[in-house]
């Protein structure tokens, strides 16, 4: 799933909401918060990075969030940093 336009349909956003549902409640909350608060206004590269994160397995996302792993993709790492700020709120 990629974006071709900066405007998103309700169906696309609903599909992303569904994809934000993860195997861990903490990830559910963080992903949904990012989607609701940042996704639509984010730079297209960061939007794509968020989609890339949604395609990752939960354990790897958890490792990114705990610092046990880092992404080679600077945009993914930038989204992870925002997710970490959401976690501290």
Tens-digit pLDDT profile for residues 52-84:
999 999 999 999 999 999 999 999 999 999 999
Domain annotation covers residue 4: no
Q: Report the candidate in 19, 22, 69, 77 with the shortest Cα–Cα distance to residue 45.
A: 77
Domain annotation covers residue 16: no
Q: Give the model confidence (pLDDT) of 37-60 as tens digits.
A: 999 999 999 999 999 999 999 999
Domain annotation covers residue 45: yes
Domain annotation covers residue 6: no
Tell me, what CATH number does 52's domain have? 1.10.150.250
Domain annotation covers residue 73: yes
Domain annotation covers residue 10: no
How many structural domains comprise the chain? 1
pTM for the predicted model, two decimal places: 0.87
Domain annotation covers residue 64: yes
Predicted local distance difference test score (pLDDT) of residue 52: 98
Predicted local distance difference test score (pLDDT) of residue 6: 52
Confidence of residue 4 (pLDDT cuts 50, 70, 90): very low
Q: Which letter, b or e, does each residue of 5-33 get, where b requires 16 or more Cβ atoms within 10 Å of its Cβ?
A: eeeeeeeeeeebeeebebeeeebeebbbb
In the predicted model, is pLDDT for residue 1 greater than 50? no
- Provide the residue range defining the domain that includes 70: 23-88
| CA–CA–CA angle 48, 43, 45 (5° rounding) | 35
Q: Which backbone phi and psi does 21 adopt, to 5 degrees? A: -75, 115
């Amino acid at each position: 799933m990629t974006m071709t336009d900066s405007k998103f349909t309700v169906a696309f956003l609903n599909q992303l909401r569904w994809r934000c549902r993860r195997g861990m409640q903490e990830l559910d909350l963080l992903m949904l918060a990012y989607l609701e608060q940042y996704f639509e206004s984010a730079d297209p590269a960061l939007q794509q990075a968020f989609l890339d994160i949604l395609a990752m397995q939960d354990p790897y996302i958890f490792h990114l969030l705990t610092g046990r792993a880092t992404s080679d993709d600077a945009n993914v790492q930038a989204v992870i940093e925002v997710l970490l700020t959401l976690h501290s709120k």
